[in-house]
Amino acid sequence: MTRSRFAGRTALLAGMVWFAMETLTAMPAAICQSPASEATHSRPLPAIAEKDGRYALMVDGKPYLMLGVQANNSSAWPEYLGKVWLAAEQLHANTVELPIYWEQLEATPGKFDFSVVDTILKQAREHHVRLVLLWFGTWKNGSSHYTPEWIKLDQDKYPFDVNKDGKTVDSPSPFSPARLEADKNAFRALMGHLKRVDDQRTVLMVQVENEAGEWGGVRDYGPEAEKAFAAQVPEKLVTGLKKQPGTWRQVFGDDADETFQAWFIATYIEQVAAAGKAEYPLPLYVNAALRDPFHPGKAPSYESGAPTDNNIDLWKIAASSISVVAPDIYMPEYAKYMKTIEQYKRKDNPLLIPETGNAPAYARYVYAAIGQGAIGWAPFGLDLSRYSNQTEGPEAMEANALKPFARQYELLGPIEGKLAEGNLEGKVKGTSEDPDNHRQTLDFGRWQAVVTYGMPSFGNWMQPKGNTPPDGGVVILELGPDEFLIAGHHARVDFDPTFAPGKKRLWLKVEEGSYDAAGNWKMARIWNGDQTDYGLNLKSDENVLLKVRMTTF
């Protein structure tokens, strides 16, 4: 990999507004730095830009599409990092998500050891990738297993949740002022350190905690929690949700216990996030262990109090220092994947998929995610530490497990900035193969792109039969009224003119090519004849970028 993936693209877009949490105020169309960065840094702070409810992650002042990978939980140690960078390189990922372990950072209370953070930053730079750091603090997958020993050993001071029967649950209680202070202090130290050592802006975002919530109980029933549950619902929440005042039970009925837990976890995390952000205002996000989008059931059949789809509004009200509530998508079914995207892509919430499954079936979803405006996407656990989190799959991830993802990133990497910029402008659409529907359409107004799967390269008189397995996908960027950039795999793309009823599309020019480091298009050849007569066939094992211009006849 070379530095060129971060190199020159035209900068800012007319009318763009920086997302509130990064800079606090709307700013004019220019590269804006937050006050915290002005004194010491020359590069602008990573930020999230917003335009008409669409988003882009801004890196070095330009829209950036995170084609990421998350390492396994225990891979962010200096001895193992080599296996992470190697996988990232083979994947053609531009961003690596790595945990920072509280137990390592503050093994002794008040003494911070930044040596691992510094090693991670140094090696990331050497390997020309950006970072998203994951703060494994009070919560990790609903438990608290990354807290330092001095916290684990003092459970009176740092209590667990207690269930209805008075039994301790393996989940930290949000009613622990001492742990909240300790977490704030540690996160503040981490963010302050990043501010001091990261002039290069290697770190783009930070995830605050990991899949916070409670497994094994719906809420904390400890003495402090019980007092709070008997009290009135805080006015901020009642007003924010446009409810009538009352106790938790009065306001939320059957959902009171879960909502209560969500509020106090989100409020706790907001305080941690705000403490860190005051030091160094990088974009911050939380990630969610999801519930089934069609058959959600009731907590605690899913993680209670988590930022699940039913609680996004609550998390937005409680945690204004958090810019993104992000879904971890481990559901390979097309309908569930798309429904989850729909739930988390909101005008007030950028779409970010910081974790998704690493089985081959997930690879194609990068197209749908980008097409729905994602600022980033990352399969989980694709490193070469020889561990696999698949329940029915290999015991250890091997290099060949990277291939389905690598081919997508290799294709999309050189145009990531164009896609991110196009998304902010509303010019990108994309889709992933639905095994139950072999023909999909993408509506660009004047033109409707028609994507079919399972067609041969020659002929258009047959019905699409789908791919086995369904691994196709396409992303299309509108370059002009009748001009498009197309990237994809294992699909046929054609267009219908909606502005000219009764007419058909006529290719003016179909160019195969690539962009150079300065962003200039270099044509390699013109497709015509058999290559275009029946539509544009994108193969499963070839990386082809096409620039097309059309008219009608």
Minimum distance from residue 66 beta carbon to ligand DGJ (Å):
17
Identity of the residue, 16 or 93, whose beta carbon is nearer to ligand DGJ in the bound complex = 93
Map residue 141 onto helix, strand or coil: coil
Burial of 428 (0-12, 13-18, 19+ CB in 10 A): buried
- Tokens, residue 414: 């050189």
Identity of the residue, 74 or 250, whose beta carbon is nearer to ligand DGJ in the bound complex = 74
Radius of gyration for the chain, computed over Cα atoms and rounded to the nearest angstrom: 24
Identity of the residue, 75 or 176, whose beta carbon is nearer to ligand DGJ in the bound complex = 75
Minimum distance from residue 392 beta carbon to ligand DGJ (Å):
14
Minimum distance from residue 310 beta carbon to ligand DGJ (Å):
19
Site size with ligand DGJ, rule: CB under 6 A: 9
Site residues for ligand DGJ, 55-74, by CB under 6 A, read 73
Site residues for ligand DGJ, 424-483, by CB under 6 A, read none
Minimum distance from residue 526 beta carbon to ligand DGJ (Å):
46
When asked if residue 381 is in the footprint of ligand DGJ (CB under 6 A), the reply is: yes
Say if CB 21 and CB 320 are below 8 A apart: yes
DSSP 362-401: HHTHHHHHHHTT-SEEEEBS-SSSS----TTS-SS--GGG
State which of residues 50, 106, 198, 211 lies at the interface with ligand DGJ (CB under 6 A).
Answer: 211
Identity of the residue, 69 or 538, whose beta carbon is nearer to ligand DGJ in the bound complex = 69
When asked if residue 355 is in the footprint of ligand DGJ (CB under 6 A), the reply is: yes
Minimum distance from residue 72 beta carbon to ligand DGJ (Å):
7
Q: Which of 498, 494, 490, 499 has the alpha carbon at shortest distance from 548?
A: 494
Taking the C-alpha atoms of residue 265 and residue 304, their distance in angstroms, rounded to an integer, is 10
Say if CB 356 and CB 290 are below 8 A apart: no
Measured between alpha carbons, how far is residue 270 from residues 42, 142, 174, 194, 502 in Å?
A: 29, 16, 12, 19, 57
Site residues for ligand DGJ, 98-157, by CB under 6 A, read 141
Minimum distance from residue 287 beta carbon to ligand DGJ (Å):
6
When asked if residue 308 is in the footprint of ligand DGJ (CB under 6 A), the reply is: no
Identity of the residue, 328 or 494, whose beta carbon is nearer to ligand DGJ in the bound complex = 328
Identity of the residue, 209 or 257, whose beta carbon is nearer to ligand DGJ in the bound complex = 209
Pattern 29-58, binding to ligand DGJ, x per CB under 6 A? ------------------------------
Distance between first and last Cα of the chain: 44
Identity of the residue, 221 or 380, whose beta carbon is nearer to ligand DGJ in the bound complex = 380
Q: Which residue is nearest to ligand DGJ (CB)?
A: 389
Say if CB 384 and CB 399 are below 8 A apart: yes
Length of the chain: 553
Q: Name the residue type at position 481.
A: P
Taking the C-alpha atoms of residue 221 and residue 175, their distance in angstroms, rounded to an integer, is 10
What secondary structure, in 3-state letters, does 156-217 show? CCCCEEECCCCCEEEEECCCCHHHHHHHHHHHHHHHHHHHHHCCCCCEEEEEEEECCCECCC
Map residue 546 onto helix, strand or coil: strand
Minimum distance from residue 339 beta carbon to ligand DGJ (Å):
19
Minimum distance from residue 329 beta carbon to ligand DGJ (Å):
10
Identity of the residue, 141 or 431, whose beta carbon is nearer to ligand DGJ in the bound complex = 141
Identity of the residue, 32 or 91, whose beta carbon is nearer to ligand DGJ in the bound complex = 91
Minimum distance from residue 328 beta carbon to ligand DGJ (Å):
5
When asked if residue 321 is in the footprint of ligand DGJ (CB under 6 A), the reply is: no
Identity of the residue, 252 or 380, whose beta carbon is nearer to ligand DGJ in the bound complex = 380
Taking the C-alpha atoms of residue 265 and residue 217, their distance in angstroms, rounded to an integer, is 14
Instruction: Measure the CA angle with vertex 54, ends 48 and 57; round to 5°.
Output: 25
Minimum distance from residue 73 beta carbon to ligand DGJ (Å):
5
When asked if residue 328 is in the footprint of ligand DGJ (CB under 6 A), the reply is: yes
Map residue 68 onto helix, strand or coil: strand
Minimum distance from residue 483 beta carbon to ligand DGJ (Å):
41
Taking the C-alpha atoms of residue 293 and residue 338, their distance in angstroms, rounded to an integer, is 10
Minimum distance from residue 105 beta carbon to ligand DGJ (Å):
17
Indicate left, alpha or beta for 256 from its phi (over 0: left) and psi (-120 to 50: alpha).
alpha
State which of residues 135, 264, 380, 409 lies at the interface with ligand DGJ (CB under 6 A).
Answer: 380
When asked if residue 161 is in the footprint of ligand DGJ (CB under 6 A), the reply is: no
Q: What sign has the CA pseudo-torsion 364, 435, 287, 106?
A: negative
When asked if residue 389 is in the footprint of ligand DGJ (CB under 6 A), the reply is: yes
Identity of the residue, 63 or 327, whose beta carbon is nearer to ligand DGJ in the bound complex = 327
Site residues for ligand DGJ, 253-282, by CB under 6 A, read none
Identity of the residue, 207 or 323, whose beta carbon is nearer to ligand DGJ in the bound complex = 207
DSSP 8-state code for residue 303: -
Q: Which residues bind ligand DGJ (CB under 6 A)?
A: 73, 141, 210-211, 328, 355, 380-381, 389
